[in-house]
Amino acid sequence: MSKFTFMAFIFLVGSILLLGFQSIARLMGTKGIWKSLSLIKFFGPKYFHWIDDISFFGLEEILLFIVNMPLFAFLFCMSILFFIFDKFYTK
């Protein structure tokens, strides 16, 4: 198993676990942190102020979309990206 495959499985398992926790929290009716977790809510907005300074052909909007997307979706996209890396860079 290559390092890209290993990382892809880690991201995939993390995405599935996070989605499971969000589903359980929704069924229980709690108002916890699991319902709308994103990178900005997880780390805090003070770590992402550098994005506002970027003005390179719409890169700011793309990065803001990525850091504001739900964390389970971000982890799932990262797992797909690492599976693609594994396909191209492992021979």
pTM of the predicted protein model: 0.82
- The most confident of the ranges 37-41, 49-53, 77-81 is 77-81
Calculate the average pLDDT of the chain. 88
pLDDT for 25: 80
Residue numbers of the domain that contains 64: 3-89
In DSSP terms, 70 is beta-bridged to 38
Pick from 79, 82, 62: which is nearest to 18 by CA? 79
Q: For 9-31, how does the pLDDT look when each residue is reduced to its tens digit (9 = 90+)?
A: 999 999 999 989 888 887 887 77
Q: For 45-62, how does the pLDDT look when each residue is reduced to its tens digit (9 = 90+)?
A: 899 988 888 888 888 999
Span 59-77, average pLDDT = 92
Q: Name the domain count of the chain.
A: 1
DSSP state of 49: G
